[in-house]
Amino acid sequence: MHRVILLLFLFFSISFFSQNENGLSYLYKDHFLLGSIYHGSVLGNDELNLNQDQEHKIISKEFNTITAENCMKPLFLLDQNGNYNFKESDKFVDYALENNLTIVGHTLVWKNSAPEWFFKDEKGNTISREILILRLKDYIKTVVSRYKGKISYWDVVNEAVDVFKSEDNKSYAALKPSPWYDIIGEDYIKIAFEAAHDADPDCKLIYNDYNMYQSEKTDFIIDMVNNLKSEGVPIHAIGSQGHMFLNHPSLDKVEYWLRKISDANIPLHITELDVSVLPNAWKHRGASVEDRFDLAQKYNPYPNHITSSKLKQQAKRYKSLFKLFLKYSHTIERVTFWGVWDGNSWRNYLPMKGRTDYPLLFDRKFKPKPAYFTLKDLVRKK
């Protein structure tokens, strides 16, 4: 009897090890963490997520780190009366711990994810700087303390910088207008990081932003982080979102931000990677191809299926990006795909509703795509 139990134990142990050994994160383990996101029971477009089991099967096999897509944003944690609902975020953390996944909390301070009442008094007037600082600190303390010792990384401040044009049409980067900035001032970033550190001193804290192919933005963020660190503010890494297209941004612009952050000796996280095969539609943000035939023809060219040639093009793009990530792996701590499979990607409903995109490594039948095998071959020992 004991012999049978021992043999069963060895069988399942070997099977489990082999499964992980064949996963992407195992192949990249000597380079950086490799992750995906936790969609939760409700997607970002408010539709129910009916495919969590399939997603979790892929995650457990392929990845070793996981980020909360929406369930840890203030809009999802707070109701209109200021009451917290941790049901989904608790499920996320429990799931990650049960599957031995490194957890990334996302995100504490972002102008798009705080409820409007957070900045108002009971009469609807804008609150004072002092009151907003107290609310900010209390919120961060409540959320971060709840998961102290469980979450390895927090995206503390998200998308605080933008690129503007001067009167003489020169580009420059600066902190963007937001209720946080408008009411508190530029030190809201410092306050947020210090509050997160006080709540969990062992957690690594990240400043996260997008479009860092813009050199002005990269340079500004590096200077901002270095200046804050010189003041003793606990910022441990820069997060750079990676929402790509097949030909944009150019590889030299991608390498610019990788090289500059490496030269600054700041750990880097690629936080939201995907590669859209659709035309860039951000100038039509908010429009719906479901209602406009002209937009559908131009901006939704693959409503039913994607061509093999386009998937090969996507695989080539992923390979080019990962070759750069491997080149700078001494700086890069983590690469996270912003989704598990094509069917639940945010790029199906943003910036335009009603499109069909194919930006991830697994298709709508949960099967690996050419890009998946390309990334495996890139690091597989011959």
Q: What residues act catalytically? A: 159, 272
- CA pair distance 68, 38, nearest whole angstrom: 5
DSSP letters for 158-227: ES-EEEEE-TTS-EEEEEPP-HHHHHH-TTHHHHHHHHHHHH-TTSEEEEEES-TTSHHHHHHHHHHHHH
Residue 215 CB neighbours (<10 A):
15
Residue 303 CB neighbours (<10 A):
10
Is the distance from CB of 133 to CB of 195 less than 8 angstroms?
no
Task: Provide CB contacts within 8 A for 365, sequence distance 6+.
Answer: none
Residue whose pair of structure tokens reads 């039913």 in the numeric block: 304
Is the distance from CB of 180 to CB of 188 less than 8 angstroms?
yes
Task: Provide CB contacts within 8 A for 6, sequence distance 6+.
Answer: none
- CA pair distance 348, 106, nearest whole angstrom: 21
- CA pair distance 220, 113, nearest whole angstrom: 23
> 83 burial class (0-12, 13-18, 19+ CB within 10 angstroms)?
exposed
- CA pair distance 24, 33, nearest whole angstrom: 10
* Angle subtended by helix axes 215-230 and 251-263, to nearest 10: 10
Secondary element (H or E) of residue 269 = strand 268-276
**SS3 (DSSP) at 154:** strand
- CA pair distance 211, 242, nearest whole angstrom: 8
Residue whose pair of structure tokens reads 């990269």 in the numeric block: 218
Tokens for 90? 């608790």
